[in-house]
A = this chain, B = another copy of it.
Amino acid sequence: MTDQLLLGEGPVTERIHGDLPLVDAETAAAHVDADATVLTSGFGSVGYPKEIPLALARSIRDLQLTVVNSGNVGEEIDVDLIKAGAVERRFSYQSSRVARAATNEREVAFSDRNASSIGDEVQYGGMVDADVAVVEAVAVGEGWFIPSTSLGQVPAFVEAADELFVELNHCQPLELQALHDVYRPDAPPNRGPVPLTEPDGRIGESYVSFDPAKLVGVVETDREDSTYTFRDPTDDDLAIAANLRSFLTTEMERSPVFDDAVHLQFGVGSLGNALMGELQELDFGDRDVVYYGELIQDGLLDMLDTGGLECASATSMALTAEGQTRLFENIERYAEDIVLRPADVANHPGLIDQFGVVGVNSAIEVDIYGNVNSTHIGGRRMINGVGGSADYNRNSLVSVCALPSVHGEDVSRVVPMTFHVDHTEHDIDVFVTEQGVADVRGCSPVERAERIIEHCAHPDFAPKLRSYLNDVAEDAYHIPHDVPRAAKWHGY
C-alpha cells in the first residue's frame, strides 16, 4: 500500500493521504445507530474525539449509546454528551462532575475496569459488541492514522470495531507522531511476549493500522483538548513529597535492583503532579531515573528539562494547557526521551514487573489494615474510576500509596474499615502521608494497623483509630473488626 510505504520513508508531513471520505460531524453522528456501542480514543483527558460527541449531544434523536474509553476524556463526552442524556452505558474511567452525578443517580450504567485490560475485554472478552470507533488523529491515510496526545486502548478499539470515524485535529501538531510507539500483540492464545526490554525501547510504529473498509468518515476539527488543571502544591503535598523522598532514599540503598536505575510511576492528579515536580529535590546519585507509567504530567517535563530524568514511557500526555504548549513547542526535543504506548503495553503487568517499578498512587482513603479505596466514598458514592492504579499497585516491585491524612479538617483518610476495596491488603507495601511513612512489608494485619496509625494517621484522628484497634484486638481474629462501629465512622 502506497501510504504504508510513504510512512516508512520518513515523517508524515501532510495530514490527509489519499482519497478519504471527509464528512461533517452531523453526518458522522447521524450514521451512528441510536443504541450503538461507541469506542473512543482519549486518556488522561487528552486525545479524545470532540466534534462527533458534540454532534451526538446536539442530536434530536433518542440516543442510548454505550460509550467506551480506556481513560479520562474531556467535557465534550463526559459533560455534554452525558448531559444530553445520550449515554446509557459507560466504560471505564470517568471523573467529571456531571458523569459522576449521572453515575450515582444510576442514569448511566457504569462498569469500571482496569486500564491495562479493557482493550482485550472489548476485543476478545465479550464485554460489548463493538460497533464504531471514534478516534482523534493528527494525520490519516488509507488504512492508518497517527493518534494525537494519547494512545490508550485505541489500537484494540479500532481492531474490535466494525466501523471507524477519524477526527482529524488540526490544532494537534503533526510532530506528535515522533512520540508514538504502537505495538500490537496478536490475539490470544497465540500471543507472544511483548518484546520490550527497555522503557524507551521502540517496538512498533508511529501509526495505528486499520482495515480501510472500516473507515466511514473523516471529520476535521481544530478544537483543543480540555486539558487538566492542577492546583499549586499545598503544604501537605510538599510534606508528602518530602516523606516519599525520604523513603525512596532508604529504598535505593536497600536493594541492588536500584543500583543503576530507578523506575518510577506516579498516579494522575494534583498530588501526583506535585510529587513528580518535587522529585527534583531528591539526590539519585549516579542512578538513571526512568519513568514507566501511564501518564506524563507537567512535573515530569521539568525533570526532563533539567536532565534529571533519563526517559519517560506512558500512554498519555496528561498535561495542563501550559504544559501542552510547552510540549508542542519542543516536541522534537521531548521525543528523544518520551515514548507513548498503547495502554496494554504502558500498563502491562509483565512489563511493570520486568522494570521493577516503584509505583506511587493516591487514594480516597486507606483502612488501618492496608486496604485501599480509590473510587467510592462510604463504599457507595462513585468519585472516579479505578483507571490504571490497580495495574501498578498490583504489579510494581514496591507499591506506595501516597495521600493526605485528612480531607479538610473533619475527615480522616485513614479509617478503621473501607467499604469499597480497589486494592487489597495483598497489594500495597508502603503508605505515605504528610505525617510520615508506614512501611508495612512483611507485617501482619494488626502490625500494619499499628504502623499506619502511628506513622500516617493525622494526630486529630490517631487516638480514635488506636482506640478502635485496641478494642477490636481483644477478640481472637486475624483481622479484628467491629463492622457496625467501623460503619459509624463513615456516618452510617
Q: Footprint of B on A, CB under 8 Å?
A: 89, 91, 103-106, 109-114, 117, 120-121, 124-128, 185, 187-197, 251, 254-257, 260-261, 263, 290, 348-351, 353-356, 371, 376, 378-382, 386, 390, 394-395, 397-398, 417, 419-426, 429, 441-444, 446-447, 473, 475-484, 487, 490, 492
Contacts and interface: CB of A to CB of B under 8 A. Distances in A.
A379 B441 contact: no
A376 B424 CA distance: 13
Contacts of A397: 120, 124-125, 188
A479 B420 contact: yes
Nearest to A475: B380
A189 B257 contact: yes
A313 B39 CA distance: 36
A103 to B, nearest CB: 5
A317 B210 CA distance: 45
A149 to B, nearest CB: 26
A36 to B, nearest CB: 14
Given A113-B426, A483-B487, A490-B483, A188 B376 contact: no
Nearest to A122: B442
Residue of A196, A355, A395, A447 ringed by the most chain B CB atoms within 10 A: A395
A128 B254 CA distance: 12
Contacts of A89: 442, 444
Nearest to A371: B421
B356 A189 contact: yes
A353 B345 CA distance: 12
Nearest to A380: B477
A444 B125 contact: no
A127 to B, nearest CB: 5
B255 A376 contact: no
A424 B426 contact: no
27 contacts: A110-B444, A112-B425, A121-B441, A124-B255, A124-B257, A126-B251, A185-B354, A188-B355, A188-B356, A189-B355, A189-B356, A191-B353, A191-B355, A193-B193, A193-B196, A194-B350, A349-B349, A350-B353, A371-B421, A379-B479, A382-B477, A382-B478, A390-B424, A483-B483, A483-B490, A484-B484, A484-B492
Contacts of A192: 197, 354
Contact of A419 (B128, B355, B423, B483): B483
Contacts of A479: 376, 379-380, 382, 420
A80 to B, nearest CB: 21
A185 to B, nearest CB: 8
A426 B349 CA distance: 15
